[in-house]
Amino acid sequence: MNLDNGTVIAQRYEIIEKIGVGGMANVYRAKDLKLDRFVTFKVLKEEFIKDEEFIKRFSIEAQAAARLSHPNIVTVYDVGTEGNINYIVMEYIEGHTLKELIRKQAPFANDEALGVAIQIASALENAHENGIVHRDIKPQNILVTKDGSIKVTDFGIARASNSNTITAESMGSVHYFSPEQARGGYVDNKSDIYSLGIVLYEMVTGVLPFNGESPVQLAMKHISDPLPDMRKFNPNITASVEKIILKATEKISTQRYQSAEEINNDLKRALTNESGDFIKNQEYDNSSPTVVITKQDREEISRQTKAPTAENEPKKLNIYNGYANDDPTEYTRSEIKKNYMDYDDEYDKSKERKVIIAAVVTAFAIIAIITSFGAWFLNKNTETGKQAAPQLVGKSIEEAQEEGNKYRIYINKKDEQYSDKYDVGIVMAQSVMPGEEINEGDSIDITVSLGEKPVELEYKIPSVVGMDMGDAQDKLDYSAIKVKPTYVYDDEIPLGEIISQDPQEGTMVKHGSVLNLTVSKGVESKTAIVPDCIGKMQETAQALIESSDLKVGSIVSDTSDKYEKGYVIQQTIAPGTEVNSGTSITLVVSSGNPEKEAENKENKDNKEDESSNKTDENKTNDAEEKPEDTQQNDAQQEVKSSEITINPVIAEGVESVEVKLVEDDGSSTGKEVYSKVVNVNEFPLSVTVEGTKTTEYQLYIDGKLSGKEKIEF
């Protein structure tokens, strides 16, 4: 349901602007007219208003979210219906999404990532305690306020945690959902913990762990692929952060953190303990129920993955006489974690010694019993033809056959699988465990390793033109290709948007190939330096401003004791400031000082009268007493000199210019007092001029009038 700006709902909420679109609802910024505050106004989309199931789910969302009250959860203020408008009113958060900050700042420092994760975990802890599973934890649903606080929002697909079903519509975002969500299985609080682990991975590496061209491909990777080595993207990750991420993203939910409180405690410990030796392993539990879904994507996932059975269900590491009976994909992950030490702040050391002593005594007793029983068992089996199955895992096919001949049993090569642990041709699993009872003539099926899975040789380039770099990252598989962006100015394409790509969409390239992206830097901002106009005549100042690729704004007049009429006494932007080209500069021009001018005129008139009288009285005597040449010198005025500084604004790339300084002597062309071709490195240039009265000089650069300056001698 789209609402126009200015619409008032329930005689209280005024729609200001649309700020987002979710899976089920449109989101607006609105004004609560009653309490005079901005709110987030969420309205169910029009295509769902006739669907009773969606209306019911929307109502459940509102009721569930309204029960939550926590500083790290967006507060729900109100919920209601007006006509066919179903809405929720929430706290309005001014800030950014965590996704935006990841795009701009990731990888985060360890303490920064932990600080964010602790607040998310605190929010989940509160929600889980109230029976709410979020189901859609992702950076887009995590808001960062201006003061750096974290707010978890959008419980759009959250439902009571005792619900054991999940549909395609309520499935969390594909990049962050858990393996059980991918399978359509039972979803509980541990699914949120998995998603939090993926978010933490993205914060510390700057990339998503899994990418694919379709939801099905991504789902398959969440189900079966190990988490990529995060140190490849950020070698500064502490061991504690790495171990927390690995435990939070375990494929089997019972091997993850079992509560938000548990992961929150480890996140807080990781702030001061970088080793991660406090992290505990979870015991494997295969009691979690699953629910099969029927949507198209889920059917495809089910087709590509086998249903959990005793044979292919990933198992915990089970070492028996050196034999590891586990899924090869899970083995490496279990190996990584098997050395984790249990952590207990309250553990009593004296009790520990007692437990160890008791364990040692018990162990000796068990060994004695096993030894006696083993001797009896072997003697008995020798007589009856029964025997203990040999260990075949780790042996070559030839060695396994030799063992079969030795024990008079058949060895059948039943399957071949890729393995990161076993070399090609080595037995990696057997149908009968070593030591189990087996009769002569029985068979043991073996699975043989194909070695490491070969890397796919080709990658199909998708189209990312028109996307920003953040969206492109979500679409591209960075483990398959390398991205090389080149940034260029563009007057039409917005900042950060991809203009072109090479290779083009659909091109098949080898893994590790480079994808060249041309990215817009937006409109190029040209700048100019503001010239110094103070003390210069208005015409000169205007010419300087225009030659600097700037504009003359208003001309304001004001009285001045210092500057004569027509000279600039002030400018709105200080000289030397770098501004955008075309910026307007207002000039304040002196209108003189009327009182001082009147006083000066009166004094001048008096002096002229006195001088005239004295001249008349003494004229004859002076003429008689002084020689003729002395009279001529006195008639001449004294010649004085002054310096004119020339420092014009020269266009970039020009090496030299012609400089002319012309004295305004009343003629049509003026008197040229200086003319020279000057290298731009010689500026500022000083030119000496001489005169007996106030004279105006005009400066020409390459034949164009560049400025004027009046000199009083």
Please identify which residue in the block is written with the tokens 């948007």.
497
Which amino acid, 253? S
83: left (phi > 0), else alpha (psi -120 to 50), else beta? left
Contact 179, 222 (CB under 8 A): yes
277 given a catalytic annotation:
no
Q: In 155-257, which ranges are continuous DSSP H helix? A: 179-183, 189-205, 215-224, 239-248
Find how far residue 90's CA is from the centre of its chain: 26
Measured from the Cβ of residue 427, the count of other Cβ atoms closer than 10 Å reads: 23
Short-list 581, 572, 500, CA closest to 541? 572
Give the DSSP per-residue string, 6-37.
Answer: T-EETTTEEEEEEEEE-SSEEEEEEEETTTTE
User: Token digits for 189?
Assistant: 């609080």
Q: For the chain, state the CA radius of gyration.
A: 43
First-last CA distance in the chain: 81
Q: State whether the Cα torsion 685-686-688-692 is positive or negative.
A: positive
User: Token digits for 242?
Assistant: 């790495």
> Among residues 136, 154, 188, 266, which one is catalytic?
136
Q: What separation in angstroms does the CA of 270 have from each of 110, 148, 335, 524?
A: 9, 20, 22, 45
User: Token digits for 551?
Assistant: 């504009």
Short-list 163, 154, 232, 247, CA closest to 200? 247
User: Token digits for 504?
Assistant: 């083009």
Residues tagged active-site: 136
